[in-house]
């Protein structure tokens, strides 16, 4: 191989294990050379959009060593291909991680979902970045996590936490489409206003300014039937105190616990009212969106059509430039984004 047959790629690796909220110094950019001559079945892809999502904080704690590349999805353009399924010039959604150029060999007949590689959804004119948000993993998380786990019925009351985030904002709007009374909680007043004024939530509150139990007692006298949980911890406790019999909690995330530090052997203490939970025959179910890999495009296409019909509104927080992925990730964990946080490639 001569010099011309190789090129430079950049990637982010873990520089230092996170302690609490990640810091910029925990991330390193590394350059690596990759061949430009492809093997049979391979593609060379150039990232156009990256996504950062809360689950990455959890995964990084569990599985990453120093020097490991950060994982995650991209919308990428195939710039060279020896794989008929993903031809040159096409776009893919690839789980290539925080890097710009990628050589990837799709497993023939292998899984085609957010955590491997898939063709772009049929966007029908909607922005490409949606394939990482409302028409990607977060979209399906909202769709199936609400409809299959909570199974909300018309006129039931649905509470959503982290309601201005990529998933929560969809959950609330799908709840409205299904005839629920929807109550959202978010972390600042602008987000709260967005939920009620633009997204059609019946009520929304800034959880930093209100007492949860009081708020439920004053504003939700009919009590809660479904809770879509993105935060865990004390929030669930207060929901349980104000839930109807046969209440269902769909546990999507627990962002309140992701940055928590514990000493070895220390158990994560949270309030939980087991006797009441049993008395009212409640259900708490955790889920991973992989569960719906076999009907991956059902939710995505449904959300797309609701967007095209004007029933769902989407907002994105866009950061520009590969080098700013870590900052976008930190902003996300601090709740600075409204809607889906994505990063646009600038070169």
The alpha carbons of the chain give a radius of gyration, in whole angstroms, of 21
In DSSP terms, 43 is beta-bridged to 81, 104
Nearer to its own copies, 74 or 251 (CB): 251
Q: Which of 287, 293, 301, 318 binds its own copies (CB under 8 A)?
A: 287
Among 33, 218, 288, 295, which residue interacts with its own copies (rule: CB under 8 A)? 288
* Binding status of residue 295 toward its own copies by CB under 8 A: no
285 φ/ψ angles, rounded to the nearest 5 degrees: -135, 125
Q: Which residue has the tokens 């959503």?
A: 160
Rounded distance between C-alpha atoms, residue 52 and residue 306, angstroms: 24
Q: Sort 142 into a burial class: Cβ within 10 Å, 0-12 / 13-18 / 19+.
A: buried
Closest CA to 347 of 101, 92, 161, 81: 101
Residue from 16, 39, 279, 320 binding its own copies (CB under 8 A): 279
* Site for its own copies contains 310 (CB under 8 A): no
| Nearer to its own copies (CB atom), residue 58 or residue 126 | 58
8 A C-beta contact, residue 197 and residue 290: no
Residue 268 found at the interface with its own copies (CB under 8 A): yes
Residue 272 — φ and ψ, nearest 5°? -150, 125
Asked if residues 201 and 183 have their Cβ atoms less than 8 Å apart, the reply is: yes
Contact segment (CB under 8 A) with its own copies among 30-38, 125-133, 172-180, 277-285 equals 277-285
Contact 141, 162 (CB under 8 A): no
Q: Which of 133, 168, 187, 253 binds its own copies (CB under 8 A)?
A: 253
**Counting contacts by CB under 8 A, is residue 185 touching its own copies?**
no
274 forms part of the interface with its own copies (CB under 8 A) = yes
Do residues 342 and 135 touch, judged by C-beta distance below 8 A?
Answer: no
Could you tell me which residues come within 8 angstroms of residue 305 by beta carbon, excluding any fewer than 6 positions away? none
**Binding track over 220-249 against its own copies, x by CB under 8 A:** ------------xxx-xx------------
Of 29, 126, 257, 318, which lies in the binding site for its own copies, with binding defined by CB under 8 A? 257
**How many residues can be counted in the chain?**
347
Please identify, using beta-carbon distances, which residue of 173 and 241 lies nearer to its own copies. Answer: 241
Q: Which residue lies nearer to its own copies by CB, 234 or 298? A: 234
User: Is residue 272 a contact point for its own copies (CB under 8 A)?
Assistant: yes
Closest distance to its own copies from the beta carbon of 56 (Å): 13
Under the binding rule (CB under 8 A), the answer on residue 281 touching its own copies is yes
Burial of 87: CB neighbours in 10 Å, binned 0-12, 13-18, 19+: exposed
Q: Which of 58, 126, 203, 318 binds its own copies (CB under 8 A)?
A: 58
Stretch that binds its own copies, among 178-186, 201-209, 278-286, 305-313 (CB under 8 A): 278-286
Site residues (vs its own copies, CB under 8 A): 58, 232-234, 236-237, 251-254, 257-258, 267-275, 277-288, 291
């Amino acid at each position: 191989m001569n010099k011309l047959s190789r090129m430079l790629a950049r990637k982010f690796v873990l520089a230092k294990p996170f302690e609490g909220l990640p810091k910029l110094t925990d991330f390193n950019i590394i350059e690596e050379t990759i061949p430009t001559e492809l093997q049979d079945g391979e593609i060379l892809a150039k990232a156009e959009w990256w996504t950062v999502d809360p689950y990455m904080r959890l995964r990084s704690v569990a599985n990453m060593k120093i020097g490991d590349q950060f994982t995650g999805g991209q919308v990428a353009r195939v710039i060279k291909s020896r794989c008929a399924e993903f031809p040159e010039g096409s776009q893919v959604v690839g789980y290539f991680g925080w890097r710009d150029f990628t050589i990837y060999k799709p497993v023939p007949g292998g899984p085609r979902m957010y955590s491997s590689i898939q063709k772009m959804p049929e966007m029908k004119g909607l922005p490409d970045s949606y394939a990482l948000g409302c028409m990607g993993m977060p979209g399906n998380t909202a769709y199936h996590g609400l409809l299959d786990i909570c199974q909300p019925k018309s006129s039931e009351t649905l509470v959503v936490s982290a309601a201005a985030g990529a998933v929560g904002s969809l959950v609330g709007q799908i709840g409205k489409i299904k005839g629920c009374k929807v109550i959202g909680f978010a972390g600042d007043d602008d987000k709260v206003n967005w939920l009620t004024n633009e997204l059609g939530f019946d009520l929304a509150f800034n959880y930093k300014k209100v007492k949860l139990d009081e708020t439920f007692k004053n504003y939700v006298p009919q009590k809660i039937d479904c809770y879509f949980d993105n935060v865990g911890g004390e929030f669930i406790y207060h929901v349980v105190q104000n839930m109807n019999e046969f209440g269902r909690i769909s546990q999507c995330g627990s962002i309140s616990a992701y940055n928590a530090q514990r000493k070895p052997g220390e158990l994560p203490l949270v309030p939980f009212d087991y006797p009441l939970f049993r008395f009212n025959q409640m259900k708490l179910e955790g889920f991973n969106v992989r569960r719906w890999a076999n009907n991956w495009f059902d939710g995505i296409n449904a959300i797309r059509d609701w967007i095209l019909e004007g029933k769902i509104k989407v907002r994105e927080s866009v950061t520009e430039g590969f080098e700013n992925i870590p900052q976008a990730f930190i902003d996300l964990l601090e709740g600075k984004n409204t809607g889906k946080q994505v990063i646009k490639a600038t070169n």
